[in-house]
């Protein structure tokens, strides 16, 4: 399988405080929390490498030194640190700060703690194959809420038959949650706010412009948001292996 035309760069959001994961994150940054004996961020990096990514930009803030030391042990993909020690910039601001490292081409985006059991075909490959720069500014991996492990929210999006995503309305329930993996075009960040801001600001603008799409993931999304969810994820991994 050729990955020649797939994104060669990626951004991993690893700067968050991991408050819901306390007390585990009192001394361990959430990207380094282990599930089945491996740090969460390593699962994502290995999937990026398998999809042909050559360079990954990782932003750091909370317990940043620990994250940096851990990343020096990885031979590939090449890691570039985007330092947010001075000020946490939220998801949108963090990517905006890192754009000079990401270049002018579309890039993969991963939350450092996003985690899933693959289905028949790797999900990052499926995202890259579905990407259409003429129609899209963003393409999100979406997980069905009813089958996800560790997720108890109301969902984020509906998915139209043509692939457009529709934001969940207040007090309603949506069938899909954003699973923390995407492909984004740098043009999405044109005229973005300064400083710290949520990526949802730009998602909503792209939805309004008709340029935001989604792909239903193949496999099982493991939402590792609390200490209890670690055990649930490990049980799902063991069951899948069996």
Q: Is the peptide bond before 2 cis (omega within 30 degrees of 0)?
A: no
- The length of the chain is 242
For the beta carbon of residue 116, count every other beta carbon within 10 angstroms.
25
User: What are the pLDDT digits (tens) for 50-66?
Assistant: 999 999 999 999 999 99
Nearest in space to 94 (alpha carbons), one of 105, 110, 76, 115: 110
Q: What is the pLDDT of residue 123?
A: 97
The phi-psi region of residue 231 (left if phi > 0; otherwise alpha if psi is between -120 and 50; otherwise beta) is alpha
pTM for the model stands at 0.94
Binned average pLDDT, 10 residues per bin, the chain of 242 residues: 79 92 91 94 95 97 96 93 96 97 96 91 96 97 94 92 94 93 97 96 96 96 90 90 74
SS3 121: coil
Question: Where does residue 55 rank: exposed (0-12), middle (13-18), buried (19+ CB within 10 A)?
Answer: middle
Token pair belonging to 78:
């090449």
Q: Which pLDDT does position 238 carry in this prediction?
A: 92
Rounded to whole angstroms, the Cα distance separating 52 from 9 reads 9
Query: pLDDT value at position 173?
Result: 92
- Count Cβ atoms below 10 Å from residue 211 Cβ, excluding itself: 18
3-state secondary structure of 185: coil
Task: Supply the pLDDT for residue 21.
Answer: 87
Amino acid 92: pLDDT: 97
Cα 116 from Cα 222, distance rounded (Å): 5
Q: Which domains does the chain have, with CATH numbers?
A: 9-241 (3.90.550.10)
């Amino acid at each position: 399988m050729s990955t020649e035309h797939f994104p060669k760069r990626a951004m991993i959001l690893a700067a968050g405080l991991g408050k819901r994961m306390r007390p585990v994150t009192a001394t361990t940054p959430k990207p380094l929390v282990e599930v089945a004996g491996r740090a969460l961020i390593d699962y994502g990096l290995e999937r990026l490498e398998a999809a042909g990514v050559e360079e990954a930009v990782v932003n750091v803030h909370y317990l940043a030194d620990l994250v940096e030391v851990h990343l020096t042990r990885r031979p590939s993909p090449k890691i570039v640190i985007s330092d947010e020690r001075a000020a946490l910039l939220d998801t949108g601001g963090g990517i905006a700060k890192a754009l000079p490292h990401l270049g002018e081409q579309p890039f993969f985006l991963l939350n450092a703690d996003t985690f899933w059991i693959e289905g028949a075909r790797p999900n990052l490959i499926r995202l890259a194959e579905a990407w259409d720069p003429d129609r899209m500014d963003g393409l999100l991996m979406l997980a069905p809420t009813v089958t996800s492990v560790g997720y108890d929210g109301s969902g984020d999006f509906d998915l139209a038959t043509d692939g457009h995503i529709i934001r969940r309305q207040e007090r309603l329930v949506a069938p899909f949650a954003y699973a923390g993996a995407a492909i984004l075009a740098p043009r999405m960040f044109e005229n973005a706010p300064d400083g710290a801001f949520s990526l949802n600001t730009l998602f909503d603008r792209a939805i309004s412009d008709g340029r935001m799409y989604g792909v239903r993931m193949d496999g099982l999304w493991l939402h590792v948001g609390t200490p209890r969810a670690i055990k649930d994820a490990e049980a799902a991994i063991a069951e899948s292996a069996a």
